[in-house]
Structure 1
Amino acid sequence: MNSAVFPVSTPPRSSARLLTSAPCCPEPTTMVGNTPVLWIGEPFADAGAGFWAKLEGNNPGGMKDRPALHMVERARSRGELIPGARIIESSSGTLGLGLALAGIVHGHPVTVVTDPGLEPIIRRMLAAYGADVELVTEPHPSGGWQQARRDRVRQLLDAHPGSWCPDQYNNPDNVEAYQSLALELLAQLGRVDMLVCSVGTGGHSAGIARVLRQFCPHLKLVGVDTVGSALFGQPAAARLMRGLGSSIHPGNIDYEAFDEVHWVAPREAVWSCRTLAATHHASGGWSVGAVALAAGWLARTHSPDLRIAAIFPDGPQRYFDTVYNDDFCAEHGLLDGPAPTEPVTIDHPTDRVVRSWTRCTTVVDPAELRP
């Protein structure tokens, strides 16, 4: 990296300094936040170019530890969540881990409503953390697994008087929770010119960009979605990738904040995840692979002076049976074909149904597309 762009000093570190540099954590919540940024260069970008990856997998359960704790604490402060009441929420896994942490810290039983796509390791860890796991068995005819999970959440709320649902899809506290992450980026990088985020509930893209633009008004926001997702005007379809994309339209997505969107397919995300692991010893799941692919292309096609930050929501551990499993990847045709190099560009999200890496600089709220 060009040191004139972002000087980095790496003085020798003694073992004594290493012993005293790690923070003391008087309680589990203090393990959340202050995650590192890692420079990602070749082969994702050309020599001398690259982007900074915010490694949210360094949180105990991943990036959504932040909103889980924040939503619970805000609800408690307003009296919406009474002491000892049950927390019930829909999750594909990461928020569930964060809610389990919040439940332990604040004394709330937790029920996580999920679907058969939840990885066995996450289901077992949720149980180990004391959470109850409720599995829906059939997708909603139009809203897919997410709507089916939300319908089951409503049933459970009725069955448990006094219980509370964070509703991560529409809760403004989910957006507000990412202020800390944005301020960390500013402290670490000085400025951010372009922010690359996967999009699911819309919380972290909206929350981080909102804060960064107070200090970096020129900021460009790039959203990364999966093929088969309805978030940005494509038709909903079956999706292999979890953690990003949706069959519903969460209220937290700030469509006006985005400058462009990329859709990424599973094979492309797998290549990206495995390449990250082999070249940088840092990787993650579907969202991480998709975000790294888009961020690398943006670094290759823009000035090296542009400071790009990409959010890596989790680490690789929960994906050992999918992204990093050769048998799974071979079964789904995810190891075939050349390395992805650039997206196809379309003028409007409704131009055609995308099946592979595609970008569009026209970002619309799908509500505006309804007849």
Structure 2
Amino acid sequence: MTDDTNDEAFENSPVDIDSSKAVEYTTEYGEEGSKATRNPEDDLSQTFVTLEEKEGIPFDEIQEDPILREIGNTPLVAHPENEQIVAKVERENPTLSHKDRIGPGMILGLRQMGELEPGQRIVEASSGNTAGAVALAANRLDHPCTIVMRETTSPVKVGFVKALGAEIVTTPDVGHEHDYYYQTVAERYAQEHDAVYLNQYGRPLNRHIHYEWTGPELYQQIKNDDVTHIVGAMGTCGLLTGVAEYFKEVAPHIQIVGVDGEDSNISREFHDEELGDYNVDVEGLGQWRVSASANLDVMDDIRSVSDSIAVSRAKHEAADNGMLMGPSSGAAMEVAQAITQEDDDANVVTFIHDGAEQYFHEVDGW
């Protein structure tokens, strides 16, 4: 990152910033022991050069589009039942999830890095929210798009992809060791069709988008509050570890707590436990391995939640508190609630990662 301030880029940053409310912090730079006072808002004024240098995604192209610029600036909503919790409602994005951020972010980032040509076909593997997010971004940024999905994918998520004009390739619901595993098929399809595989699981760019965008946005919303914890579900781990990287620079006292599935290897690896079989039914929660888009070194804790508790918490929040969320967000809310029970002084921000309507067809008919 750089200390230079670029006013034009700052004005086109993906979140609206009140520059009169800058909060200074101190961090180490240069030689050992040297210090520099930095303004976190400077991080939104970068222009993209290389990922390794941690400089910014060209978000100005998002701001220029009347649809894509509706992504982000998602609200914080106070929990009706627990005054120690606020939720960042990512379902307010156009395709109803936080994945809307990585759709255009990965396309624009790969263009800037020289790995994707304008108008070139893009391919992504997703049986979740990324499918619709990428389809939307491809639609607006003029890329033909193919989404490889498991045949068991939610019909609502399939509907997003079809409505936005993307091609769908379906695969059997098989494990990662199989030739027809959906991520393997996506990589092979891209190679055979002169296309670029976005690969949300295999690119640190996924995490970096949240470092550049979601982290600063959330910081501006909470910087004057006494927040003690940020909680979110982990799948690719891009969202939470990207946010964690940013907060370790600007507010390291805030604990970043990830939420994994009960039979998943993300938490096992974090806690140096023996890895085992992945057996989680909740979409978007956990993985059979820690993806290359993750950085577990910046996490303070990762807790596991069972499928049944994730679903029951999501149902409770809808029925009793009017808060609609999917089961992975229910898992995150369960951990947020637990933290407030453990510590009367805790103030927790948790993510509502997506909407509940994507799951009504499958969670006991909801």
Residue matched to 2:38 = none
Aligned residue among 338, 344, 355 for 1:315? 355
Q: Determine whether 1:57 maps to 2:98.
A: no
Q: Determine whether 1:112 maps to 2:147.
A: yes
Residue matched to 1:132 = 167
Using structure 1 for the length normalisation, give the TM-score. Answer: 0.74
Write the distance in 1 (CA, Å) between the matches of 2:267 and 2:177: 15
Aligned residue among 185, 192, 196 for 1:164? 196
Per the alignment, in what secondary structure is the counterpart of residue 84 of structure 1? coil
Write the distance in 2 (CA, Å) between the matches of 1:57 and 1:204: 14
Query: What residue identity is the alignment partner of 1:56?
Result: E
Write the distance in 2 (CA, Å) between the matches of 1:35 and 1:325: 28
Write the distance in 1 (CA, Å) between the matches of 2:168 and 2:248: 38
Residue matched to 1:72 = 107
Question: Which runs of no fewer than 5 residues in structure 2 stay unpaired?
Answer: 1-62, 269-274
- 1:28 positional shift: 0.8
> Cα 1:25–1:200, aligned 2, differ >3 Å: closer, same or farther?
same
Q: Are 1:96 and 1:126, in contact at CA under 8 Å, matched by a contact in 2?
A: yes
RMSD of aligned C-alpha atoms?
Answer: 2.1
> Cα 1:100–1:307, aligned 2, differ >3 Å: closer, same or farther?
same
Residue matched to 1:92 = 127
Q: Within 5 Å, give how 1:287-306 maps onto structure 2.
A: 287-304=328-345, 306=346
> Cα 1:63–1:324, aligned 2, differ >3 Å: closer, same or farther?
farther
- 1:41 positional shift: 5.0
Aligned residue among 65, 73, 87 for 1:34? 73
Q: Are 1:273 and 1:323, in contact at CA under 8 Å, matched by a contact in 2?
A: no
Q: Select between 171-180 and 68-77 the one with higher mean Cα deviation.
A: 171-180
Query: What residue identity is the alignment partner of 2:186?
Result: V
Write the distance in 1 (CA, Å) between the matches of 2:362 and 2:146: 25
- 1:324 positional shift: 6.0
Q: Are 2:314 and 2:325, in contact at CA under 8 Å, matched by a contact in 1?
A: yes
Aligned residue among 210, 219, 224 for 2:259? 224
Q: Greater relative contact order (Cα 8 A, min sep 6): structure 1 or 2? A: 1
Q: Are 1:53 and 1:312, in contact at CA under 8 Å, matched by a contact in 2?
A: yes
- 1:180 positional shift: 2.1
Write the distance in 1 (CA, Å) between the matches of 2:68 and 2:247: 24
Residue matched to 1:239 = 280
- 1:143 positional shift: 4.6
Q: Are 1:144 and 1:247, in contact at CA under 8 Å, matched by a contact in 2?
A: no
Q: Select between 200-209 and 166-175 the one with higher mean Cα deviation.
A: 166-175
Q: Are 1:50 and 1:300, in contact at CA under 8 Å, matched by a contact in 2?
A: no
Q: Determine whether 1:280 maps to 2:321.
A: yes
- 1:322 positional shift: 2.0
Q: Within 5 Å, give how 1:319-334 maps onto structure 2.
A: 319-323=359-363, 325-326=365-366
Write the distance in 1 (CA, Å) between the matches of 2:79 and 2:363: 20
- 1:25 positional shift: 8.9
Per the alignment, in what secondary structure is the counterpart of residue 107 of structure 2? helix
> Cα 1:212–1:276, aligned 2, differ >3 Å: closer, same or farther?
same
The runs of at least 4 consecutive aligned structure 1 residues that moved more than 6 Å come to none
Q: Determine whether 1:208 maps to 2:208.
A: no
Aligned residue among 183, 200, 214 for 1:150? 183
Write the distance in 2 (CA, Å) between the matches of 1:26 and 1:83: 16
> Cα 1:284–1:144, aligned 2, differ >3 Å: closer, same or farther?
farther
Write the distance in 2 (CA, Å) between the matches of 1:128 and 1:174: 25
Using structure 2 for the length normalisation, give the TM-score. Answer: 0.75
Residue matched to 1:258 = 299
Question: Which runs of no fewer than 5 residues in structure 1 stay unpaired?
Answer: 1-23, 327-371
Residue matched to 1:6 = none
Query: What residue identity is the alignment partner of 1:183?
Result: P
